Amino acid sequence: MERFTMMAAVLTSPEWVKGLLDWMGRSGWSRLGRLLLVAAACGGLLLAVKLVTRAVRRAVDDGKDDVTSDSERRAETLGAVLTNAARVLVVAFFLLMTLQEFGVNIGPLVAGAGVAGVALGFGAQSLVKDVISGFFLLMENQFGVGDIISVDEKHTGTVERMTLRITQVRDAEGRAHFVPNGSIVRVVVLSKDFARALVDVEVDYGTDPDRAFEVLREAGAQLHSDRPDQVLEPLEVKGIETLGPSGFIIRTFTKTAPGAQWEVARELRRRILLAFRAAGIEIPYPQRVVHHRGEVNAPGQESSD
């Protein structure tokens, strides 16, 4: 408590106030004006980056909220990366200019930072690898924010954020996976340009295959008519895929918008179930045949009553 009292007394003393006013009169106001100009330039740079990214997003927006195009995802990704890079550069530039205004020679500091950067590059090779990999991921447009990807068959979900170092993936259970870009070996993009809903349907062996094909095509055509934004082409019946123990399995493909394959598949199964009920086509139940083997008598021994 005494320490705070002493500090308050010093700050409110006339000598301290007079010294501050003298310093401001000699060089403080000019330095403060230059720092304000630097701060204004930094703020203008951040505002310009924000306006440019917003303009690009509006230019590629197709007006469809349910469907995110590849151009929209790329614009979102590049906008996030540019914004993060601009913030780092602005903070570094402002700190250097502030040190220079207060008489600190930033030449050796910049040179030392270069040497430290080289040393850091050798010591943190994984970090450099992550940044370089992230750069090529952006340049090659392998995936972007909003894409549904599978990373090395370990992390599957929607890309929420992407920087030069990490990629954040949100899975179906809501868990966030932070994957370093340098550790990504293989990426499967599940929402690139278009997708396909694969639906296998098992029917009883007593069903006419051609009749089942016809009912499936009718259900697919009705779904395509009801949801043209999600279903790009009507259902395609590939034929009988497997002969199972209880029935045969029919494989179907439906071309959908990117990321809509799971929703379309669920709706298609519901409609197929209703269409099969209306057409009298049965979906088989698991069946098991049990053979009972009786007791075998020894030779020369009569069976007991």
CA angle 33, 34, 35 (to 5 degrees): 90
Check: CB of residue 161 under 8 Å from CB of residue 168. Answer: yes
Please give the chain's pLDDT, 305 residues, in tens.
Answer: 555 455 555 445 556 555 555 655 555 566 667 777 878 887 887 888 788 777 777 776 666 665 556 666 667 767 777 777 778 778 877 777 777 766 666 666 666 666 556 555 555 677 778 878 887 887 777 888 888 889 988 888 888 888 878 889 998 888 999 999 888 888 888 877 788 899 999 998 888 999 999 999 999 999 999 998 889 988 999 999 999 888 899 999 999 988 888 999 999 999 999 999 999 988 887 766 677 776 655 555 555 44
Dist CA 155 CA 158 (whole Å): 10
Dist CA 31 CA 104 (whole Å): 13
Say yes or no: domain 138-189 is CATH 2.30.30.60. Answer: yes
Its pTM surpasses 0.75: no
208 phi and psi, to 5 degrees? -75, 120
DSSP helix/strand/coil, 232: coil
Burial track 135-173 (b if 16+ CB lie within 10 A, e otherwise) = eebbeeeebbbbbbbebeeebebbbebbbbbbbbbbeee
Q: Write down the residue that tokens 């997003």 correspond to.
A: 57
Task: Please state which CATH class domain 195-279 belongs to.
Answer: alpha beta
Architecture of the domain defined by 28-123: Orthogonal Bundle (1.10)
Both tokens assigned to 135: 């750069």
DSSP helix/strand/coil, 238: strand
Dist CA 269 CA 200 (whole Å): 9
Instruction: Delimit the domains of the chain by residue range.
Output: 28-123, 138-189, 195-279
Q: Which amino acid appears at position 65 of this protein?
A: D
